[in-house]
Structure 1
Amino acid sequence: MNAPAPPAAETLRTALAALLDGLPPRQAAQAVDRLISNYRGATPTNAPILRDRADVAAYAAYRMPATFEAVRSALEAFAQAAPDWTPGSHIDVGGGTGAATWAVSATWSGERPVTVLDWAEPALALGREIAATNPALRTAHWQRARIGSALTLDSTDLVTVSYVLNELTAPDRVALVDAAAHAAQAVVIVEPGTPDGYARVIEARDRLIAAGFRVAAPCPHSAACPIVPGEDWCHFSARVSRSSLHRQVKGGSLPYEDEKFAYVAAARFPAAPAPSRVVRRPQIRKGQVLLDLCEPEGQLSRRTITKRHGDLYKAARDTDWGDPWPP
């Protein structure tokens, strides 16, 4: 799940760094601190919390790289399950400045009709500006829309919904997932890698399956999740290069951080899920590797791979959290 970042990541980072030119670092850090504290709840009834360009620039520079890497990791797993499929069109619901559109363009080459829907006009305007640096997104359509029960979506190949469900009421979450299921051939939903985020993903997963979708990733099955609610949760990790703004806001010195996320990717067309999925960081011990797996029968298991397994042992030592198993 932590493959080297594609060129799109570098292009995005460069574009985001340019946004902060002329914005004092202290002001940017203060804006991000405020937005992190306040950016929650249902779609606002008056003005979005992202009020102006300065707000959006600071928040985009802070959050877009992490959202991009998390969504790209989910899409990468989906693409492995459906290697012969490429989306011919894409709608990003609640996409803000469009991190998921960058992730889609990094996963599947070429241009396609892209629509980004969001309530915050400043975010859409900035997303359009950033997208001008990405040839695959230069013709993308940025449209203001209230994300909730009244939302309708045009037919499309792919719908992405990333870090959006946590901002909606329960009825609006249901309506959004149902609208995506009705419109798309494939749906990818990403949420924070917390117990609550996982619970929202499972709720969406259940609705997609009920609508006729099959899970392509991360689960190796479309049966009920074997994790007991309240006892544990399924999530993964994507490595993100830290900008100077990240270090200012979080007070960290490392050049990277790990973005924890939960996701589901489901499709109406045939896909081949992973044989099993590594759902915890592998434990490497002397002469053995312990792998915690979600199995195709819909159960969790732990496998011990030792040197006696030869090449499989070497593969296990290189296997990461979130990878398919066997590789």
Structure 2
Amino acid sequence: MNASLPTTEALRGALAALLDGLPPTQAAQAVERLIASYRGDTPTDAPVLRDRSDVAAYAAYRMPATFEAVRCALGAFRDAAPEWVPRTHTDLGGGTGAASWAVAEAWEDADPAPLTTVVDWAEPALALGRELAAASGVPALRAARWQRSRISAALRIESTDLVTVSYVLKELTGNDRAALVTEAARAARAVVIVEPGTPDGYARVIEARDRLVEAGLTVAAPCPHSGACPIVPGTDWCHFSARVSRSSLHRQVKGGSLAYEDEKFSYVVATRFPVRPAPARITRKPQIRKGLVLLDLCTADDGMRRETVTKRRGPLYKASRDATWGEQWPPPEEPAPGAPAPE
């Protein structure tokens, strides 16, 4: 594969090549079984991904969406810490490595690129992840290490700059979840946790967020503060949306006709170094009305509130019409030409 391809295109090409020899019916059946498994009780005595057919179906079904969700979380992280670059990265429960592809893209211009270690229990997932990385043409992915280990309370992590945990916590018992987050907080300078954008996924993120803060980390995103979440439990949940492009093969496996889908996710990023969180975060799709825009915000000072932006506010009104769900508000100001970069 051409090494000059952007990471997103490289992933799409790698997955297309992977599905090329897999009968669509077989892939669809494997996807349906995996969906049923993930919606039920996940077994603790065997990996959900048992063989290459399972892993290929999983990669086609989940990698693009997981990649986009983690990519969005890392984008918010980079807004809060634009000068910080991880030298090492550990992807816990990384499976075929979707989060590692997002990390490779986020710091694609870093020299050296982050050295990634993907840790997972399922050897078929690791083997396929290694194969996809090798075919990517992305140096950071081709240099990644793939380590088989049970994701449990007994796991110990070497000191690392960045830990990602994406769509993993649901598969663990409560004790294992708590221990894993505590161990990540101990070992890493920054922790990124992504879960499905459902009420129970949000609850797991909040549980992890509280544990990270208790361990002394600072919330970098999406929250504009490290205090308690202002959402009253059971009344709502904080989540965001990432647009996922589908290839024709992806649409065939997913059984959909649209050229895209929207992945709902919840996340938290916490660090052991100073960051500049967003002054406020847009928590719902902006509502554009005649002459005004309604923004639902989470703020550092007022908690959850709605802001009305009218034409009278000039450039801010224009910015509000272009604003999207999940972005910080107000938008960051562009530095003046020749102005020094913030320290």
TM-score normalized with structure 1 length:
0.96
**What residue in structure 1 maps to residue 61 of structure 2?**
62
> Given the superposition, is the C-alpha separation of residues 193 and 230 from structure 1 closer, same or farther in structure 2, using an over 3 Å criterion?
same
Range moving further from structure 2, 35-44 or 168-177: 35-44
2:100 aligned with 1:96:
no
In structure 2, how many angstroms separate the alpha carbons of the residues matched to 1:82 and 1:43? Answer: 38
**What residue in structure 2 maps to residue 252 of structure 1?**
256
2:96 aligned with 1:118:
no
> Given the superposition, is the C-alpha separation of residues 304 and 298 from structure 1 closer, same or farther in structure 2, using an over 3 Å criterion?
closer
Note the C-alpha offset of 1:26.
0.8
Output one character per residue of 1:167-207: Cα deviation in whole Å (capped at 9) or x when no partner: 11100000000000000000000000000000000000000
Q: 2:190 aligns with which of 169, 179, 186?
A: 186
Secondary structure of 2:325 counterpart:
coil
Letter of the 1:293 counterpart: L
Secondary structure of 1:51 counterpart:
coil
**What residue in structure 1 maps to residue 270 of structure 2?**
266
Output one character per residue of 1:38-70: Cα deviation in whole Å (capped at 9) or x when no partner: 13645632x312111111011101110000000
Letter of the 2:31 counterpart: V
Letter of the 1:271 counterpart: V
Aligned residues: 321
In structure 2, how many angstroms separate the alpha carbons of the residues matched to 1:201 and 1:48? Answer: 23
In the alignment, is the contact (CA less than 8 A) between 1:291 and 1:304 conserved in 2? Answer: yes
In the alignment, is the contact (CA less than 8 A) between 2:115 and 2:140 conserved in 1? Answer: no
In structure 2, how many angstroms separate the alpha carbons of the residues matched to 1:42 and 1:182? Answer: 27
In the alignment, is the contact (CA less than 8 A) between 1:96 and 1:116 conserved in 2? Answer: yes
Deviating above 4 A after TM superposition, structure 1's stretches of 4 or more consecutive aligned residues are: 40-43
**What residue in structure 2 maps to residue 23 of structure 1?**
22
In the alignment, is the contact (CA less than 8 A) between 1:41 and 1:169 conserved in 2? Answer: no
Secondary structure of 1:291 counterpart:
strand
In the alignment, is the contact (CA less than 8 A) between 2:162 and 2:188 conserved in 1? Answer: yes
Letter of the 1:124 counterpart: L
Output one character per residue of 1:191-243: Cα deviation in whole Å (capped at 9) or x when no partner: 00000000000000000000000000000000100001111000000000123
In the alignment, is the contact (CA less than 8 A) between 1:70 and 1:261 conserved in 2? Answer: yes
In structure 2, how many angstroms separate the alpha carbons of the residues matched to 1:230 and 1:295? Answer: 20
Q: How does 1:154-165 map onto structure 2 within 5 Å?
A: 154-165=158-169
In structure 2, how many angstroms separate the alpha carbons of the residues matched to 1:71 and 1:187? Answer: 12
Note the C-alpha offset of 1:298.
5.5
> Given the superposition, is the C-alpha separation of residues 294 and 66 from structure 1 closer, same or farther in structure 2, using an over 3 Å criterion?
same
Secondary structure of 1:189 counterpart:
strand
Q: How does 1:20-169 map onto structure 2 within 5 Å?
A: 20-39=19-38, 41=41, 44-45=44-45, 47-109=46-108, 110=110, 111-132=113-134, 133=136, 134-169=138-173
Secondary structure of 1:187 counterpart:
strand
In the alignment, is the contact (CA less than 8 A) between 1:305 and 1:312 conserved in 2? Answer: yes
In the alignment, is the contact (CA less than 8 A) between 1:224 and 1:298 conserved in 2? Answer: no
> 5+ unaligned residues in a row in structure 2: which ranges?
332-343
TM-score normalized with structure 2 length:
0.91
In structure 2, how many angstroms separate the alpha carbons of the residues matched to 1:37 and 1:298? Answer: 41
Note the C-alpha offset of 1:31.
0.7
> 5+ unaligned residues in a row in structure 1: which ranges?
1-5
Range moving further from structure 2, 60-69 or 103-112: 103-112
